[in-house]
Amino acid sequence: MSTKNNSTSTLTMPSDREIVMTRVFDAPRELVFKAYTDPILIVQWWGLRSNTTRVDKMDVRPGGFWRFVQRDTNGNEFGFKGEYREIVPPKRIVNTFEFEGMPGHIVIDTAILEELPNGKTKLTATSLFATIGDRDGMLNSGMENGATESWDRLTELLATG
């Protein structure tokens, strides 16, 4: 198992097909859950700071689909999509994740939100890949930096209440 710390996020690889990232947010669990499930809030924190995010679809229920589009500073668009498999407010979200630029490489993401003392929330996000190659490809794509930057932006959003 390897571990990396980046800012206040931690990344581990407990198996050949998993990436687990954790972070403690200084916000109540209900608010963190809302930031993950409200399309108005998603566009304020999801993705790189230099990009903009558009929510094309976000049907937050088991069997519901989501699709987000990122636009970079050159106007290039990148689509991401998936299906919600499990929603347990405000504790757990399970969904698939697929980058449309590499169709067929589907990841199962599980977000667990744990209530901590003093109004804090520990978020544990586990990504389960179909193959070692898919996991390594995601790591090599800059996923850790992108996820950390998104969570930095989420921290800033949560601080506004």
Sheet holding 65-71, edge to edge: 3-6, 9-12, 18-25, 120-128, 107-116, 92-99, 77-88, 65-71, 52-58
- Pick the range with the lowest mean pLDDT from 4-13, 74-83, 117-126, 133-142: 4-13
Residue 107 confidence (pLDDT): 98
CATH topology of domain 3-49+88-95+106-159: Alpha-D-Glucose-1,6-Bisphosphate; Chain A, domain 4 (3.30.530)
| pLDDT bucket at 7, cuts 50 / 70 / 90 | low
Residue 1 confidence (pLDDT): 34
- 119 sits in the region (left: phi over 0; alpha: psi -120 to 50; else beta) called left
pLDDT tens-digit readout, 89-132: 999 999 999 999 999 999 999 999 999 999 999 999 999 999 99
**CA dihedral defined by 57, 154, 100, 56, rounded to 10 degrees?**
20
Question: What does the pLDDT average to over 67-81?
Answer: 97
| pLDDT bucket at 2, cuts 50 / 70 / 90 | very low
Nearest CA to 129 out of 96, 92, 155, 94 is that of: 96
Residues in the chain: 161
Distance in angstroms (rounded) separating the CA atoms of residues 33 and 26: 13
Domains of the chain, by residue range, sit at 3-49+88-95+106-159
